[in-house]
Amino acid sequence: MAINWFPGHMVKTKREIKENLKLVDAVIEIRDARIPKASANPDIDALCKDKPRVIILNKSDLTDTASTRKWIDYLSNENVKTIALNSLKGDGIRSIKPALDELLKEKHERQRRKGLVKIITRVMVVGIPNVGKSTFINKMAKNNIAKTGDRPGVTKSKQWIKTSIGIELMDTPGVLWPKFEDEDVALNLAFTGAIKDEIMDIEELALKLVERLQVHYPENLKTRYKIENLGETPLETLDLIAKKRGCIVSGGEINYNRIAVILLDEFRGGKIGNITLEIPD
Ligand SMILES: Nc1nc2c(ncn2[C@@H]2O[C@H](COP(=O)(O)OP(=O)(O)OP(=O)(O)O)[C@@H](O)[C@H]2O)c(=O)[nH]1
Ligand SMILES: [Mg+2]
């Protein structure tokens, strides 16, 4: 499936990240726990390689716990701490400060030796569009300062936000790389809402999602749409789902656009169940 992506302001953002890195002690990279690989921007990896980093697997309320645990083990190392989070509810949010303190232990000790009493940790929050950066920041600040929304591209420019626990957070617009080499990566990003629906063929996208779920999570599809036997092909299954949802126009034709919107919406909202689309290599 061709996704014509025009990077536009994303290029500018990349340059800004480089500049902003000079202003911070650490980086919090937010990924989507349903797609920890596809949601890791390779640019961010390279740009942030010299900074202590916390990787947040956000929206972990939408994934299956066993897979998330595997990802935590897989991604963590000496310089990177990985934490699963539900930023909407705040589950896991209390482990952020200890993780940063641990990563910055030596720096903080140096600062204390120099007589600094009040240590402020400045952190840049980065991640692809729509992963929940602003939601996370609001939770940390116990305040809805940063604007959030259920579509990519809500945050337009950087903004500093203070918390009461000595951490200052820089909210940034989501960055996505300009070209998707791997179709699975592009699809995973599209399924979870990191790419604007307007630039995609959502009927085809919905069909691809059915194809994926039919292989890896057939029971979830059956339960959600009350279907006893899924179709032989993804299209047959999509038709069954459409009929169950009454997406039929006069003459018995299926309204594919309507069922595509419903299906993607329900998947993104976790209504089809706890689903992880990628497992560690
Ligand atoms: N289920 C679930 N939804 C979340 C979570 N965190 C954020 N969301 C939702 O994800 C959507 C995007 O959140 P934002 O905080 O605006 O994302 P962002 O990364 O700042 O997006 P941009 O500014 O567009 O790059 C919103 O609808 C949030 O309510 C989470 O942990 N779980
Ligand atoms: Mg935002």
Q: Give the domain ranges of the chain.
A: 9-171, 201-268
What pLDDT is stored for residue 178 in this prediction?
62
Does residue 217 carry a pLDDT above 80?
yes
Q: Is 107 annotated as a binding residue?
A: no
Mean pLDDT (whole number) for 255-277: 96
- Ligand closest to Cα of 92 equals 1
Does residue 96 carry a pLDDT above 70?
yes
User: What are the tens digits of pLDDT across the range 31-56?
Assistant: 999 999 999 977 777 888 889 999 99
Mean pLDDT (whole number) for 123-146: 91
Ion ligand 2, residues whose Cβ is below 5 A away: 133-134, 154-155
Mean pLDDT (whole number) for 85-93: 94
The confidence band for 10, taking pLDDT boundaries of 50, 70 and 90, is low
Task: Give domain 201-268's CATH architecture.
Answer: Orthogonal Bundle (1.10)
User: What does the block give as tokens for 54?
Assistant: 């916390």
Mean pLDDT (whole number) for 170-177: 81
Least confident of 66-75, 144-153, 197-206, 269-278: 144-153
| 9-171 against 201-268: fold identical | no
> With contact defined as beta carbons under 8 Å apart, do 40 and 13 qualify?
no
What pLDDT is stored for residue 198 in this prediction?
82
H or E segment and range at residue 27? strand 26-32
Does residue 190 carry a pLDDT above 90?
yes
Q: Indicate if the alpha-carbon torsion angle 222, 225, 227, 233 is positive or negative.
A: negative
What pLDDT is stored for residue 196 in this prediction?
83
For the entire predicted model, the pTM comes to 0.91
Does residue 9 carry a pLDDT above 60?
no
Does residue 116 carry a pLDDT above 70?
yes
Q: What is the percentage of the chain residues whose pLDDT exceeds 90?
A: 68
User: What does the block give as tokens for 228?
Assistant: 């006893």
Best substitution site from 14, 62, 130, 276 to test ligand 1's pocket, by max atoms within 8 Å of Cβ? 130
Of all protein residues, the one whose alpha carbon is nearest to atom 14 of ligand 1 is 132
133 lines ligand 1 (CB under 6 A): yes
Specify the CATH superfamily of domain 9-171. Answer: P-loop containing nucleotide triphosphate hydrolases (3.40.50.300)
131 lines ligand 1 (CB under 6 A): yes
- Starting at the edge strand found earlier in the chain, the sheet holding 121-126 runs 80-84, 53-58, 26-32, 121-126, 167-171, 159-162
Q: What is the Å distance from ligand 1's center to 191 Cα?
A: 14
Does residue 264 carry a pLDDT above 90?
yes
Does residue 2 carry a pLDDT above 70?
no
Beta bridge partners of 140: none
Cβ atoms < 10 Å from Cβ of 268 = 17
What pLDDT is stored for residue 11 in this prediction?
64
Sequence letter at residue 238: L
